[in-house]
Amino acid sequence: MASSLLEVADLACRRGGRKVFERLSFAVGPGELLALVGRNGSGKTTLLRALALLVRPESGSIHWQGADVRAEPEAWRGRLAWLGHLEGLKGDLTVAENLLAAERLRGAPPAEDRLDSALVAFDLPSLAARPVRTLSAGQRRRTALARVVLAQAPLWLLDEPLNALDAPAQSAFRAALQKHLAAGGLAIAATHADLGVSGRTLELA
């Protein structure tokens, strides 16, 4: 599409010596959600990790605004907000400390002035001073999602974002995702569930 920001062409990846997909091409434009669907082992997580440059594709290209993202990997990672199967949180740090530390690691400007809105988005203000090791699975997932919101990155890469979320938290996620897309952001999400947000679907076999 002419307005695409992200363009993937002829991508192929292997995992454990087995080719999980090949000749995979797609484009994503501003305000668009692309949902990755398929059976376990079909390559959804591998594709997300390849887009984040966490694994090296066997072949193919990934371009952002026409430029190969592998030419400037640090700049590319700065444009991403990542949510994996594991939340990637430090158990001895508080919720607020985890979020602020993640922004420092991204090399982003100080995030204190943006912290409150990210916490409110996932009903976390009352937990902000709690060590993450004391939280439930759902509370940790909400913290990880708040980290995504705090990043204010143009592209969200989400692996099963609804995992461990109760109904109110799922509604909060949908609201945050819709706000991100309405502002011109992009999102690619691997999911087994209906995310409840309009978008395109890419099925991996």
Whether the pLDDT of residue 5 is over 50: the answer is: yes
78-118: pLDDT as tens digits: 999 999 999 999 999 999 999 999 998 888 777 889 999 99
The two structure tokens encoding residue 81: 């907000």
| Average pLDDT over every residue of 136-140 | 98
DSSP state of 196: S
**20 lies in which domain range?**
1-79+156-162+188-205
Q: Is residue 52 part of a domain?
A: yes
Structural domains of the chain, count: 1
Using CA atoms, how far apart are residues 157 and 36, in angstroms rounded to an integer?
11
Domain at 205, CATH number: 3.40.50.300
21-65: pLDDT as tens digits: 999 999 999 999 999 999 998 999 999 999 999 999 999 999 999
DSSP state of 163: T
Tell me how crowded residue 142 is: count the other CB atoms within 10 A of its CB.
27
Rounded to two decimals, what is the model's pTM? 0.95
Q: Is residue 167 part of a domain?
A: no
Q: Is residue 66 part of a domain?
A: yes
Q: Is residue 127 part of a domain?
A: no
Q: Is residue 29 part of a domain?
A: yes
Q: Is residue 124 part of a domain?
A: no
**What kind and span of H or E run contains 156?**
strand 155-159
Q: Is residue 45 part of a domain?
A: yes
Using CA atoms, how far apart are residues 91 and 71, in angstroms rounded to an integer?
34
Helix (H, G, I), strand (E, B) or coil at 39: coil
The two structure tokens encoding residue 150: 């705090």
Tell me how crowded residue 64 is: count the other CB atoms within 10 A of its CB.
19
In degrees rounded to 5, what are phi and psi of residue 39? -70, 165
Residue 176's identity, in one-letter code, is: A
Q: Is residue 3 part of a domain?
A: yes
